[in-house]
Amino acid sequence: MNEIPKNESQTVEFKSSYNDEVIVSLCAFSNSIGGSVYVGINDDGNVKGITVGKENIANWINDIRNKTIPKIIPDVEIIETDDKTVAVFKIIEYPIKPVSFKGRYYKRVKNSNQLLTVTEVVNMNLQSLNSSWDAYPDTLHTLDDISLEKVQKCIEIMREIGLTITDTPLSFLFKFNLLREERPTNAAYLMFKNTHSNITTIELGRFQDNITIKDSARTQSDIISQVDEVMEFVKKHINLEVIITGKAQNTQKWQYPLEAIREIILNMVLHRDYRSPSDSIVKVFNHKIEFYNPGRLPDTISIEDLLSNNYKSTPRNKAVADFFKNMGIIEKYGAGIQRIIDYFKNENRTVPEFRNISDGFMVTVFDSFVGNITKKANITENITENITENDTENDTENDTKNDTENDTENDTKNDTKNDTKNDTKNNTKNQKLILKVIKKNPYITSNELSEIIGIIPVNIRVNISKMKENGIIERVGGKKGGYWIIKSKK
């Protein structure tokens, strides 16, 4: 006797009797990884049993075959348990998907059947044919919408990396299957279109907070150009730290690993669902960047699979991915996410956050280090340690001197003198801190200096004003994009 599962699951469904819901489950299993429907068992796993005759089995099989497209025929097994009869309908994953029941398409998600969306139906069919949407002819555009100059540039790039290509731009498109039925494919239009269009819109924004926008831009160009355009916008709005090394040339360090940022942008372009009406969006904040892209992860890949690199990559736009690989823009499929994670780990930074959101996928990167220790905190710790050690000695000398004076001068005079000395000493100490921080990051703002040094922004501005008056520092440029120059070591 075969053992009956105790619970429903990804591959097991219970039905108390035979009805159309049995066929729905078989369709969902066919569109997933296969499964079995146990007829004669209630949803709670209690065996109810059914009455089965030879005609019943034949009628059930014919009913299933007649109500499904493509027609599916399950294996039927009759088992006995506790003097009760259960019919088991077994179906394997169907090679050509999706299978429909009365014009509706279903998928299996955990222990339930769910209707497929129109996009999922199309994707499932393309994947079963080992193809993708971008490989099909673009019915809305013609060769007149393609820039042959852009095609020629790609030919030249491919020659530079060692490929032998003697084709003209037009024959090149035919050779790489980017022209079909005398029309450009969707991939060809995305990569070589000669005008801007909203199918590739990426909205770009620099945000002060969740609602305050400091700068915005939009790109609607071809997707090859967009990689650099988005990259330049991000670089424009993140910090570049100048590290004083004492050598002839200082070291520059960006707020985020640029290799990882570029990899994220490439993934956006490659895996975007260009049939979605939604736009891709990049939001740059003070200490994080959000990258949103239409198109969720496939149901077969979880976030945990993504982080553990335990998945098989299937590019949503295979024709684009193949062409990017030929151009040397990407190295291989399925390694992008792991490279992004490794770039951040190699700098001891917080690993980016990956999640499905709405009808798309979002990656959020942070400028913090592992353990939530920010770069600014490290700077502060080192600066404070050095300054405190020096100032402790000075304080001791000043205190001793002051005590001697207090013995010979009246209280009013002492109070005035001590207040003046303390104010000068505090200003000097804060200004030393400000100088140290500016040396490490000339692009730092007054508010960020306030957080690091631990005094209110007004006092930061007072100290900076004094330092500018004394010719110690100078501001080049405005609040946005400006930086500090240290003029003197006073």
Mean pLDDT on 9-15? 96
Burial of 203 (0-12, 13-18, 19+ CB in 10 A): middle
pLDDT at residue 171 in the model: 93
Read off the pLDDT of each residue in 445-467 and give the average, rounded to a whole number. 80
Cβ atoms of 227 and 262 closer than 8 Å: yes
Decide if pLDDT at 375 tops 50. no
* Nearest-angstrom CA–CA distance, 241 and 243: 6
Q: Which helix (H) or strand (E) holds 104?
A: strand 104-109
pLDDT at res. 246: 65
Which residue segments constitute the domains of the chain, with CATH numbers given? 12-128 (3.30.950.30), 135-192 (no CATH), 205-366 (3.30.565.60), 375-486 (1.10.10)
Model confidence at 417: pLDDT above 60:
no
> Which residue's structure tokens are 């003070």?
286
Which of the listed ranges 66-70, 136-140, 280-284, 411-415 does the model predict with the highest average pLDDT? 280-284
**Distance between CA 316 and CA 321 in Å, rounded?**
9
Is residue 70 within 8 A of residue 39, CB to CB? The reply is no
**What pLDDT is stored for residue 181 in this prediction?**
80
* 293 against 122, higher pLDDT: 293
Q: 0.85 exceeded by the pTM?
A: no
Is residue 333 predicted with pLDDT exceeding 70? no
Q: Are strands 360-366 and 288-294 parallel, antiparallel or unpaired?
A: antiparallel
Question: Over 60: is that where the pLDDT of 482 sits?
Answer: yes
Q: In the prediction, which pLDDT does 245 show? A: 64
168-184 residue pLDDT tens: 999 999 989 999 888 99
Give burial (CB, 10 Å; 0-12/13-18/19+) of 32.
Answer: buried
pLDDT class for 406, splitting at 50, 70, 90? very low
In the predicted structure, residue 206 carries a pLDDT above the cut 80: yes
| C-beta separation of 141 from 184 below 8 A | yes
Mean pLDDT in residue range 284-303: 92
pLDDT for 479: 66
**Torsion, Cα of 472, 475, 476, 478 (10° steps):** 180
| Model confidence at 190: pLDDT above 90 | yes
DSSP string of 360-425?
EEEEEEESPBTTTB-HHHHHHHHHHHHHHHHHHHHHHHHHHHHHHHHHHS-HHHHHHHHHHHHHHH
More confident residue, 332 or 281: 281
Confidence of residue 476 (pLDDT cuts 50, 70, 90): confident
